[in-house]
Every structure is written in C-alpha cells, then in structure tokens.
Amino acid sequence: MRNSAEGMSEIDFEQLAEIELKKDECELSSLGERKASLLQPAAEEVDLSMDHPYYDIARHGIIQVAGDDNCGRKVITFSCCRMPPSHQLDHIRLLQYKKNIKALYIVHPTNFIKILWHIFKPLISHKFGKKVSYLNYLSDLREHLKYDQLIIPEDVIRHDEKLRSAQKGQPIPSTITPPPRPPLPTQQFGVSLQYLKNKNKGELIPPVMKHTVSYLKEKGLQTEGLFRRSPSIQMIKEIQKLYNLGKPVNFDEYGNIHIPAVILKTFLRELPEPLLTFECYNEILGITSVESSLRVANCKQIIQKLPEHNFVILKYLMCFLHAVSQESILNKMTASNLACVFGLNLIRPLQGISSLSALVPVNMFTELLIEFYHQIFNSRTVAGESLP
C-alpha cells in the first residue's frame, strides 16, 4: 500500500481475553505489558528502550487502539502511511493479530490494491474475504464505528481532503455528526442509571439487568462457556430495539441461553458512564501495584466511594457473577474467566479510550470483586436494594 492508504481492523477484546485465559497469570501479566507497549492509545511517539521486544514496531506508531465499533467491539487502526521500508520491520510480528480480525476496512484504496485483491481473492478463504470492505473517504467510517475516537495521522486527513476536493460536481458525504436524538420514554440502552430509575418508578435495578440476570440464574448457571459465546449481532440489535420500545422480550422464544448473556454485557457497555464510574478509573489501574495481601481491602475502599445507585447495581451484578463462578466445574467460568469478559464493560477512562495496558489491572480488580464478593460488599447496604 502506498502512503496515502490507511487500513483499519477491529479486534474484539473478549476474543483476546479468550486467548489469554489459556495462559497462567504470570504469563498473562507479562504478555499484557508487552502488548500495551505495542498498542499505545494516543501517543505519536512511544518512549521505549531499544532493547524492548516490540521496540522495532512500536516506535513507528503504525498500530493504535482507537475506540469501539457500533457493536461495542474494540477497533485497531493500522496506518500504512507510517510503514517503514520492509527491511526495517518484521512484518510477521506486526501482523500477529490477523487471526482475531472481525472485519477489515480499507480506507482510500488505490487501484493497485484493488487489482491485487482481485488477483489473490481466489487464494483467500471465503470467510476472510467477507470481512473486507473498501471505503473511499474517512467519513464513510461513521456508519461502522465511533469515528470521533479514531486516531488518524495528519497525512491521512490531508489526503482525504485532497480526494474530496478533487470530486468536482460529485456529492461528497457529510462529515458533520447529526445531533443525538432524545431518548424514548421507554429507552433502556445508552441512557443513564438515573434516567432509568426515574422512568421505572424509583426501581434501583434497571429492568434489562433484572430480566437477564433472573433468566440466566434460573436456566443458565451450568451452561458451559456462559458469556463467552456470541449470537447473531442482528438478533441482539432486534432485542435491544424491543427493550427500547418497551415491548416484552421472551428469551424462551429464541432458544439460545447466550442471547440474554450478551444482552447483559451490551447493557453495561452502553451506559453513558461506566458502572464503576470515571472517577475510579485511575485507582483501579493502580491495583497491580498494591501488595497482594492488601488488594481485597483496597478494592473495598474503592467500592465504598461509589454513588449509592452504582454500588447497589454493582453489588447485584457481582452477587450473580459470584454464583456463576460457584458452578465453574460445569460452566467453566471461574472468577478469572468472568473478569476477562466483564472487566472492560465496567470501567473506562473519561477521556480517550482504554489501552491494552489497562487489561491486566481491570481484569484483576473485577476478579477480586467476584471471588471475594462477600468480604467486599458486606459492610454497606442501601435502602431498597435487592439481590438476585
């Protein structure tokens, strides 16, 4: 690809977590640190020593963690304009994540790239071929992901402007983001906890959480791989729409226990402010520097600072996840496994996006909340709270 092209691929953090679950905790921590150095979230220059294992890749700033797509999956940008000559870079190490790609968007594709793709397409698996989409302008990305979170090199932005200005007499896609629509009175996804409380007669536990948790506790506790399977995205969107319109959802009709599991994760991920709040983010990232024997107490201190409403919902959720972990002999979902699935749905920074360096502390913090649920949550009760 020449300098004017930028490729971008999505990576599902849960897919990454799935791989990490197969490794022991020590290896996970080490690998997490190395990957965090490779995928810096926003820095143009990466400050690494020359003997760092990923120095040769990270110093170029080719790969960046860059927000979420419209399905909540993490996005990675791959900036071809920053690619050095081939003799300066190990391309095999650079493309080590290719097996985890869910979709590949190639922005500003040249005719040469299209010709190459046409030539080699018969040699590429049909499954991977369906993941590739060509986009002519950066603005086209808005249909697929949260564009404003992307980290785009200035060279690519200037090239995009040049291409758009060259299209004389042709309609150019608008780059203006339309104002958000006001939520429906029955809206359940993407609205604040306070909004849900006000619209549900003061109920502390949001209806989606209560519905999915109750269903899963009754019928899914012993399901192997609970929370680690992904049903059809279109089906999930349809169920979200039913909830948002205030219509009843009967999970028995779908015959797939993994659907309510994904709905629960989606609800948490789409909260305007994460359940663990922006304020707690830095403290949570510091859990790895706390002495092992003091980590549970440290978790308890952080949790005590949460607003009452957040505390009640978190307690409700962790009570349920603790019950799931108690069936891990059958469902294979230990506290550690559940933490890998839920951690990044519970906390994120106020500005920017979470980098892979946050993966280890966030997962560790979440695992402690699940495993030591009784010790951490037993000293605080709130009027009107309920447990699953």
For residues 376 and 52, the model is more confident at 376
Whether residue 373 is predicted with pLDDT greater than 90 in this model: the reply is yes
- Amino acid type, 93: R
Give 44's pLDDT tier (boundaries 50, 70, 90): very low
Per residue in 213-228, pLDDT tens?
Answer: 999 999 999 999 999 8
Q: What is the CA radius of gyration of the chain?
A: 22
pTM of this prediction exceeds 0.85? no
Return the ∠ at Cα 34 (arms to 28 and 36), rounded to 5°. 95
pLDDT of residue 324: 97
Domains defined along the chain, listed by start: 6-166 (3.40.525), 193-377 (1.10.555.10)
Question: Does position 91 have pLDDT exceeding 80, yes or no?
Answer: no
Residue 81: CB partners within 8 Å, gap ≥ 6?
3, 4, 5, 6, 153, 155, 156, 159
pLDDT at 51: 54
Across 285-292, average pLDDT: 94
Average pLDDT over residues 179-189: 84
CA separation for the pair 241, 236 (Å, rounded): 9
Task: Output the average pLDDT for the chain.
Answer: 77
- Range in 15-24, 95-104, 109-118 the model is least confident about: 15-24
First CA to last CA distance, the chain: 54
What's the whole-number mean pLDDT along residues 101-111? 74
The residue with greater pLDDT, 20 or 352, is 352
**Range with the poorest average pLDDT among 119-123, 141-145, 264-268, 287-291:** 119-123
